[in-house]
Structure 1
Amino acid sequence: MKKTQDYFEKIKLAEIEPNSFNVREQFEEKSIQELAKSMEIDGLINPLTIRVVGKNKFEIICGERRYRAALLLGWETIDAYIKELTVEDAKRLCLIENIQRENISVMEEAKALKRLYELTGDIDELIARVNKSESYVRSHLRLNNLIPKIVNRLEKEEISFGVASVLCAYSADIQQDIHSRFLDKDAYNNWLSLSKDEIKKRVESFYTTQLDQYKFDLKECRECVSNTANFTLFSDRCGKCMNKTCLDEKNATYLLAKAIEIKQADPLVVLCTSFVRATNKTVIERLKLQEFEIQDNAQCQLYPQEPKKPAFSEGVTEEEKEEVIEDYQKKMQKHTNLMDDLKKKEGRGELTKFAVIGEKDIDFQYQLHTKKNETEELQKQLTTLAEKDKRNQELKIINTVKDTKAVIFEQHEIPSTKAISVDENKYFYYFLLEALASKHFQYFDIPNSTYYLSDKQKKEILDRGLSEEQKAMIQRDYLARHFNSAFGNGITSEFFIAFAKEHFPEEVTKIEKKYTEVYHKRQKKLKEQSSMIEKELKKRKKLPKKDKKAA
């Protein structure tokens, strides 16, 4: 009879399987053995909670440790409470059961809370279901932001929950840097013995930056979760950024746009790096990629700073105010005169304006020099751009060749049996021309004064076309170049003699005869010496043993 409600029953262990959404990943063998011993003596006190997932097939919701202990004992069946649950309800019940365990680890609980939150989709419902405080739930949820290496430290109890709760607020790249530099127990300056508050202070000092130091629009940053001003434990008005990657990218994007805007407004302005201050390398690289000319380490002068308008506190007399205002006006007039003078010099071409790219902003500075013609300066810039274009064309070919080599020589195999094409034959003769003797240049319309063939001249020869006589000349010069290295008794020497005989049979035969005669004379003498030794050996073989020893 089919059961339609929750019920108890003995179920075969072979029909039960663990679920895939249990947050517990580690089961200590010793702990399972101890539980098995207890179950062997006292029996199973609490049945498993399982659900039907198919015909004679069940999935554990609660009690995987008991299930593993029963397998260890060799039980065939086990008491179970069978519940009719959907997949979502089963996940929820399993996660809540895990969270309520006494021996759950910090990270297991954090993962369980995260999965349960994903199921409920509501933080208030999650808090109500697990019966924990809001701060408890939120602090554990944040632990899921930890990188695996720091999770491992936490699970090994090398760092505390408090320290982990500080580190999880930071971006992955900052966590990675902290782990490699300060959580290595072999490092003399590690932070492993420091308290949560001490580590919090050091992380702030090393890795956070006041947002109000930056010039880009901070609208998005004010609501960002990485802004410390949004944490109750920080009191900063503007806040500090804890996501260095995001901060650096926003800053670089702003500076790049500002630099391009400056250059577009006035092409005569020179973009440069500072001689004394740090510069934003990312922005410099991106400007260069967009073909902007950057002058390095420009030694410029600062424009005069505008005097600050005076502000008066209570108790200052009118007479004192008039005196301060009069002094301010004098300074302001001096500043105006200086700026007007510099502007005139710029108009006469006696001053070059520089946009100095710093770490967080771009400042204007200047250099004085003898009068320059603006038209000539702009023409000079055009020439520089033309040279850059020429270099870019070279780079296009260089990189195309490099990547093509990688494709055809490393990833593919060049066809070996396919017939050689007309173009391939042309390429073949291009390389053979390397060995063309200078005495034959005249037959290819190359001046006799030419010392060696350039690549361009080789191409011109091939473009004009080769006669059969020219092809033969090139091939034989190539053979002669390589046969010139012939030495000793080898295949190259053998082929060289044969090649020489084909073209100069009488001379080679005469040479061969000369050295054959020398060889025969030497051979005759060697044979005579060999014959004497052989006779002595025969003589010794005929002697009795005593005589051999005496000999």
Structure 2
Amino acid sequence: MKKNQKTVAAKKQNSNVNATASTAKNVGALVPFQSVSMNIPLDEIDPSPFNLDRTIGEKELRDLADSIAQHGVQTDIKVRPTENGRYEIVYGERRFRASLLAGKMTIPAKVEQMTDEQAETCLIIENLQRENYSAMEEGRIFRRKQEEGMSVAAICERFGKKEDYVRSRINLTTLIPEVAEMLDHEDITLEMAKEFAKYDPDIQKEVYEQHFRNDGFYSWKGIPAKEFAKRLYDKYMTKLDCYHFDKTECGTCGHNTLNQVLFSDCGDCGACRNMACLLKKNEDFLVDKALSLLKNDARLHLAVTEEGDRAIAERLEAMGHEVVTLDKGLWNYIDEPEMPEAPDPKDYDDEDDLQFAKDDYEEEMKEFKEACSEIEFEVSEGTMLKYAVIRSKEVSILYDRVRETTETDEDGTAYAVAPASPAKALRDKDARNLEICYEHINKDLKKVLREGSAKFPTSAMTEREHQMLNYVLLDCISGTNRRLLGVSDYGENRVERLKVAETMTEEQRTMLFRMAFMRYCDDIYEFNCKADNIDIRLMTEFGQMHFPEETAAVLERHKSIYEKRHASLETRIKAIEDEAELLRLREQAGIAEVAGERVDTATGEILAAELPEAEPTDYPEPAFPQEPRPDYAPCEGPDPDEFLPDADFEAPLIPLGEKPSERQAA
């Protein structure tokens, strides 16, 4: 009986193997979407190349292997034949690997002809339906399909998912490793991970470090996902309502959270996710508003706080405008008078109450106009400075009183000096800007000459260089440079120095001159430089001789800055002077301007917008001549833009050995 059972079992096994072999021979004849079920040897099967996003834990695989060893594979895997007579897994790789681990020889499979695209789609759909993929694995799959050129709509259609589902999964691939690990270990929920993924990596890193890395008072672990989303939104989203630039384009922008599926539950306050665009629009708005205010009032001073945005200040400075940095807190400055709000009749049921409100409003308007007139008078007199303070999202008008300064005359008597008028202050500023221009030229040209000292040319000296030599040889070169010249017998007295100088070769003399002139340039004073400073003119000329490109760059850079500032200040000076002349003529005519209205000083009557024609019998008709204004020069001397001296200029030759004091006295 036992022998018969073994015989039957052997025949059955042979029958299965023969059926497998027979079916395998006919696999090549399969047509697409026609499946054949069969047992296939495990050593003839290759893993799927499309299952790179799937991770299988060792414990999970061992548990499945134990089940297969005891009960076998209950559900067929799917494979497709390959050109080399082998099979490639479409789905079921976990069962395949567990069967290998369980020591099985074959595995039940459905064989079907498929293209690469069909095989990958079949694999993904199978695992999605079985929920074998984690959210991160799904995200990596959808991201890969998107990178291959498939749109989100096409992904949704192929895999039967909604758009917000697909987008949220794709967004998970932007999680930083620390947050992704928390999701894998279930330290955070999937909903919290989705909120994390809405923000840039830098924000994710900051939130993780501050609120999830450690437990404690500031930990956000375990809070509801909605509360977590609100905290992130309030802290890190740039709400558009906080900005004052024109937000017309933002209404239809894809970076506006009101237009994004991921932020559909964030309320009705839109926020911008394109930080670069937002900052650019805000910066342009602040620059334009500052320029508009300055154009309307030439007495205005542009200013920023110590914590202000330097990028905006640099843009304005590049245009030639000066931007000062306030050295006090904003609470130390005087705010611009606030215009009272007129009463709205709709807010009053009683006529008497409305009339009382109107009377109060008129009184407040009177006080407002008086305050404005007083401030404007002080600004015009120079006793009050008017600032346009560029803040993070707005430009504010603030005022600061100017205190009298104290100076001492020659006999030691102290006296008070009244503040300068706005025009005088701007002229002083213009003169100082010219000094700054040449201070920077002085400093930067020294750097050019210093960096070029290692490659001094040995060509023949020009006649102009000989003249420079007479100017600078009274200063000594350093001992290091003397050694570079090959001079060793160099005594302390002037006779020995003269002997060494007389026995130098022409090449040594050439190098000596250039080293001496460089040393002289190092000692030129770098502050309060004037346009006609002889030392700077000569240093400039020397730089143009031997380092023309670097010298030209220095001159162009700093002169360009000065010219822009000069043009801006000249415009403001003219506007102030024209306004002062107009006020003088009005004063002669007995007309004053109070809070924007022209008033007859004798009668208090408010006049029309235009000045009345003067009676020829009373006083001559006022004219507004444009008197020619002489060109301003900060000091006597040549044009500050002339760097080269006249062709017939000859510096006196100074004999070698003459004392520096003698040259300076001469």
Q: TM-score range by the shorter chain?
A: 0.5 to 0.7
1:381 to 426, 430, 436: 430
Alignment correspondent of 2:498: 442
Alignment correspondent of 1:233: 265
Residues 34, 398 of structure 1: alpha-carbon distance in 2 compared, 3 angstrom cutoff: farther
Instruction: Give the drift of 1:386.
Output: 5.3
Does 1:432 find its partner at 2:481?
no
Whole-angstrom CA distance in 2 between matches of 1:388 and 1:314: 60
Alignment correspondent of 1:271: 302
Tell whether the 8 Å contact from 1:303 to 1:364 is kept in structure 2 after alignment.
yes
Instruction: Give the drift of 1:220.
Output: 3.9
Whole-angstrom CA distance in 2 between matches of 1:141 and 1:55: 36
Write the mapping of 1:128-527 to structure 2, written as runs, cut at 5 A. Answer: 129-131=158-160, 136-224=165-253, 227-230=256-259, 231-236=263-268, 238-241=269-272, 247-259=278-290, 269-274=300-305, 279-280=308-309, 282-284=311-313, 293-298=322-327, 300-369=333-402, 370-372=419-421, 374=423, 377-378=426-427, 380-381=429-430, 383-384=432-433, 387=436, 390-391=439-440, 394=443, 429=481, 432=484, 437-439=491-493, 440-443=496-499, 459-460=515-516
Tell whether the 8 Å contact from 1:349 to 1:372 is kept in structure 2 after alignment.
yes
Greater RCO (CA < 8 Å, at least 6 residues apart): 2
Instruction: Give the drift of 1:223.
Output: 3.9
Whole-angstrom CA distance in 2 between matches of 1:381 and 1:77: 93
Does 1:23 find its partner at 2:56?
no
Instruction: Give the drift of 1:183.
Output: 1.0
Whole-angstrom CA distance in 1 between matches of 2:52 and 2:357: 75
Deviates more, 1:390-399 or 1:152-161: 390-399
Instruction: Give the drift of 1:441.
Output: 3.5
Whole-angstrom CA distance in 2 between matches of 1:181 and 1:47: 49
- Which structure has the highest helix share of the two? 1
Once the two structures are superposed, residues 380-412 of structure 1 have per-residue CA deviations (whole angstroms, 9 ceiling, x without a partner) of 23532652575378469869999x9xxx9xxxx
Whole-angstrom CA distance in 2 between matches of 1:254 and 1:438: 68
Instruction: Give the drift of 1:86.
Output: 3.4
Residues 292, 65 of structure 1: alpha-carbon distance in 2 compared, 3 angstrom cutoff: farther
TM-score, structure 2 normalization: 0.54
Once the two structures are superposed, residues 360-393 of structure 1 have per-residue CA deviations (whole angstroms, 9 ceiling, x without a partner) of 1111223344232525524523532652575378
Identify unmatched segments of 5+ residues in structure 2: 1-25, 403-418, 460-476, 503-510, 520-666
Question: Aligned AA for 2:335?
Answer: L
Structure 1 SS opposite 2:345: coil
Whole-angstrom CA distance in 2 between matches of 1:51 and 1:383: 85
2:114 to 85, 103, 112: 85
Whole-angstrom CA distance in 2 between matches of 1:356 and 1:262: 11
Instruction: Give the drift of 1:163.
Output: 1.7
Instruction: Give the drift of 1:150.
Output: 1.4
Alignment correspondent of 1:98: 127
Instruction: Give the drift of 1:306.
Output: 1.5
Whole-angstrom CA distance in 2 between matches of 1:93 and 1:102: 14
Write the mapping of 1:44-63 to structure 2, written as runs, cut at 5 A. Answer: 44-51=73-80, 54-56=83-85, 59-63=88-92
Instruction: Give the drift of 1:145.
Output: 4.1
Whole-angstrom CA distance in 2 between matches of 1:393 and 1:60: 77
Once the two structures are superposed, residues 497-517 of structure 1 have per-residue CA deviations (whole angstroms, 9 ceiling, x without a partner) of xxxxxxxxxxxxxxxxxxxxx
Deviates more, 1:176-185 or 1:76-85: 76-85
Once the two structures are superposed, residues 50-78 of structure 1 have per-residue CA deviations (whole angstroms, 9 ceiling, x without a partner) of 34565446543312212323444566765
Instruction: Give the drift of 1:182.
Output: 0.6
Question: Aligned AA for 2:285?
Answer: Y
Residues 379, 66 of structure 1: alpha-carbon distance in 2 compared, 3 angstrom cutoff: same
Residues 400, 158 of structure 1: alpha-carbon distance in 2 compared, 3 angstrom cutoff: farther
Structure 2 SS opposite 1:366: strand
Instruction: Give the drift of 1:174.
Output: 2.1
Alignment correspondent of 2:63: 34
Residues 29, 308 of structure 1: alpha-carbon distance in 2 compared, 3 angstrom cutoff: same
Whole-angstrom CA distance in 1 between matches of 2:484 and 2:149: 77
Instruction: Give the drift of 1:355.
Output: 1.7
Whole-angstrom CA distance in 2 between matches of 1:317 and 1:13: 98
Structure 2 SS opposite 1:35: helix
Structure 2 SS opposite 1:110: helix
Question: Aligned AA for 2:185?
Answer: K
Q: Provide the aligned C-alpha RMSD in A.
A: 4.5
Residues 461, 368 of structure 1: alpha-carbon distance in 2 compared, 3 angstrom cutoff: closer
Tell whether the 8 Å contact from 2:240 to 2:270 is kept in structure 1 after alignment.
yes
Identify unmatched segments of 5+ residues in structure 1: 409-419, 447-454, 464-551
Paired positions, count: 436
Whole-angstrom CA distance in 1 between matches of 2:237 and 2:47: 48
Tell whether the 8 Å contact from 1:49 to 1:61 is kept in structure 2 after alignment.
yes
Residues 57, 421 of structure 1: alpha-carbon distance in 2 compared, 3 angstrom cutoff: farther
Residues 108, 441 of structure 1: alpha-carbon distance in 2 compared, 3 angstrom cutoff: same
